[in-house]
Amino acid sequence: MISKEEFTAHREQFEAFVATVHRFAALLFGITFVGYGAAVWVWFEGATWTALIIATLSYLFFRQFRRLSVNLARVKFTPRPEAREMLLLVDKALDDHKPHQVLAHLEGQVGAARKQGEDASSTD
Protein backbone atom coordinates (compact mmCIF):
# COMPACT_ATOMS: atom_id res chain seq x y z
CA MET A 1 0.00 0.00 0.00
CA ILE A 2 1.04 3.64 -0.03
CA SER A 3 3.31 4.53 2.86
CA LYS A 4 2.87 7.56 5.07
CA GLU A 5 6.05 9.10 3.65
CA GLU A 6 4.85 8.63 0.06
CA PHE A 7 1.48 10.08 0.99
CA THR A 8 3.05 13.08 2.69
CA ALA A 9 5.24 13.78 -0.34
CA HIS A 10 2.16 13.94 -2.62
CA ARG A 11 -0.52 14.92 -0.13
CA GLU A 12 -2.17 17.63 -2.23
CA GLN A 13 -2.41 15.38 -5.29
CA PHE A 14 -3.83 12.50 -3.21
CA GLU A 15 -6.42 14.78 -1.62
CA ALA A 16 -7.49 16.08 -5.04
CA PHE A 17 -7.53 12.53 -6.43
CA VAL A 18 -9.75 11.23 -3.61
CA ALA A 19 -12.12 14.19 -4.00
CA THR A 20 -12.32 13.54 -7.76
CA VAL A 21 -13.02 9.85 -7.21
CA HIS A 22 -15.85 10.80 -4.85
CA ARG A 23 -17.36 13.20 -7.39
CA PHE A 24 -17.27 10.55 -10.12
CA ALA A 25 -18.66 7.93 -7.71
CA ALA A 26 -21.58 10.20 -6.80
CA LEU A 27 -22.30 10.84 -10.47
CA LEU A 28 -22.16 7.13 -11.33
CA PHE A 29 -24.29 6.29 -8.29
CA GLY A 30 -26.91 8.76 -9.50
CA ILE A 31 -26.81 7.33 -13.01
CA THR A 32 -27.34 3.86 -11.56
CA PHE A 33 -30.49 4.88 -9.74
CA VAL A 34 -31.79 6.70 -12.78
CA GLY A 35 -31.42 3.33 -14.51
CA TYR A 36 -33.42 1.66 -11.73
CA GLY A 37 -36.08 4.35 -12.06
CA ALA A 38 -36.21 3.81 -15.81
CA ALA A 39 -36.61 0.08 -15.21
CA VAL A 40 -39.57 0.68 -12.89
CA TRP A 41 -41.15 3.08 -15.38
CA VAL A 42 -40.73 0.58 -18.24
CA TRP A 43 -42.14 -2.16 -16.01
CA PHE A 44 -45.25 -0.10 -15.29
CA GLU A 45 -45.61 0.44 -19.03
CA GLY A 46 -45.95 -3.33 -19.41
CA ALA A 47 -42.53 -4.25 -20.84
CA THR A 48 -41.44 -6.66 -18.13
CA TRP A 49 -38.48 -8.18 -19.98
CA THR A 50 -37.14 -4.79 -21.02
CA ALA A 51 -37.46 -3.60 -17.43
CA LEU A 52 -35.59 -6.69 -16.22
CA ILE A 53 -32.79 -6.06 -18.72
CA ILE A 54 -32.49 -2.38 -17.72
CA ALA A 55 -32.48 -3.25 -14.01
CA THR A 56 -29.84 -5.94 -14.58
CA LEU A 57 -27.61 -3.58 -16.54
CA SER A 58 -28.03 -0.94 -13.82
CA TYR A 59 -27.04 -3.47 -11.19
CA LEU A 60 -23.97 -4.57 -13.14
CA PHE A 61 -23.02 -0.92 -13.62
CA PHE A 62 -23.47 -0.36 -9.88
CA ARG A 63 -21.18 -3.29 -9.10
CA GLN A 64 -18.40 -1.63 -11.10
CA PHE A 65 -18.92 1.99 -10.07
CA ARG A 66 -15.96 2.08 -7.62
CA ARG A 67 -13.51 0.71 -10.18
CA LEU A 68 -14.94 2.94 -12.88
CA SER A 69 -14.78 6.06 -10.70
CA VAL A 70 -11.11 5.38 -9.87
CA ASN A 71 -10.33 4.86 -13.55
CA LEU A 72 -12.16 8.05 -14.57
CA ALA A 73 -10.20 9.99 -11.94
CA ARG A 74 -6.98 8.47 -13.28
CA VAL A 75 -7.90 9.65 -16.78
CA LYS A 76 -8.52 13.16 -15.45
CA PHE A 77 -5.15 13.27 -13.64
CA THR A 78 -3.05 11.62 -16.37
CA PRO A 79 -2.29 14.83 -18.34
CA ARG A 80 -1.01 16.58 -15.20
CA PRO A 81 2.78 16.20 -14.93
CA GLU A 82 2.76 16.99 -11.19
CA ALA A 83 0.45 14.02 -10.57
CA ARG A 84 2.56 11.46 -12.42
CA GLU A 85 4.34 10.08 -9.34
CA MET A 86 1.09 9.97 -7.37
CA LEU A 87 -0.58 8.00 -10.17
CA LEU A 88 2.33 5.56 -10.25
CA LEU A 89 1.85 4.96 -6.52
CA VAL A 90 -1.88 4.46 -7.03
CA ASP A 91 -1.23 2.05 -9.93
CA LYS A 92 1.23 0.08 -7.81
CA ALA A 93 -1.32 -0.17 -5.00
CA LEU A 94 -4.06 -1.20 -7.44
CA ASP A 95 -1.84 -4.00 -8.76
CA ASP A 96 -1.86 -5.61 -5.32
CA HIS A 97 -5.26 -4.58 -3.93
CA LYS A 98 -8.83 -3.95 -5.02
CA PRO A 99 -9.92 -0.37 -5.78
CA HIS A 100 -12.14 -0.08 -2.70
CA GLN A 101 -9.24 -1.15 -0.47
CA VAL A 102 -6.86 1.38 -2.00
CA LEU A 103 -9.45 4.12 -1.81
CA ALA A 104 -10.28 3.29 1.83
CA HIS A 105 -6.57 3.47 2.66
CA LEU A 106 -6.21 6.83 0.91
CA GLU A 107 -9.37 8.17 2.57
CA GLY A 108 -7.94 7.16 5.95
CA GLN A 109 -4.67 8.93 5.25
CA VAL A 110 -6.45 12.06 3.94
CA GLY A 111 -8.70 12.09 7.02
CA ALA A 112 -5.75 11.65 9.36
CA ALA A 113 -3.82 14.42 7.60
CA ARG A 114 -6.80 16.79 7.81
CA LYS A 115 -7.34 15.98 11.48
CA GLN A 116 -3.66 16.53 12.18
CA GLY A 117 -3.85 19.88 10.34
CA GLU A 118 -6.95 20.89 12.32
CA ASP A 119 -5.29 19.90 15.59
CA ALA A 120 -2.22 21.97 14.69
CA SER A 121 -4.31 25.01 13.75
CA SER A 122 -6.47 24.79 16.89
CA THR A 123 -3.42 24.86 19.15
CA ASP A 124 -2.11 28.04 17.51
Rounded CA-CA distance 49/33 in Å is: 18
Q: What is the DSSP code (8-state) at residue 98? A: -
Which residue intervals of the chain are DSSP H helices?
A: 4-9, 11-44, 48-63, 65-77, 84-96, 99-122
- C-alpha to C-alpha distance for 74 and 23, rounded to whole angstroms: 13
Residue 111 has pLDDT above 80, yes or no: yes
What confidence score (pLDDT) does residue 123 get?
65
Read off the pLDDT band of 113 (50, 70, 90): confident
CA dist., res. 62 & res. 33, Å (int): 9
Predicted TM-score (pTM) of this structure: 0.84
pLDDT (tens digit per residue) in 13-57:
999 999 999 999 999 999 999 999 999 999 999 999 999 999 999
**Dist. CA 105–CA 33, nearest whole Å:** 27
Q: pLDDT by residue (tens digit) across 59-106?
A: 998 999 889 999 999 999 999 999 999 999 999 999 999 999 999 999
Position 124 scores a pLDDT of 59
Smallest CA-to-CA distance from 36 within 60, 8, 55, 63 is with 55
Nearest alpha carbon to residue 33 among 53, 62, 68, 4: 62
Does residue 1 surpass a pLDDT of 90? Answer: no
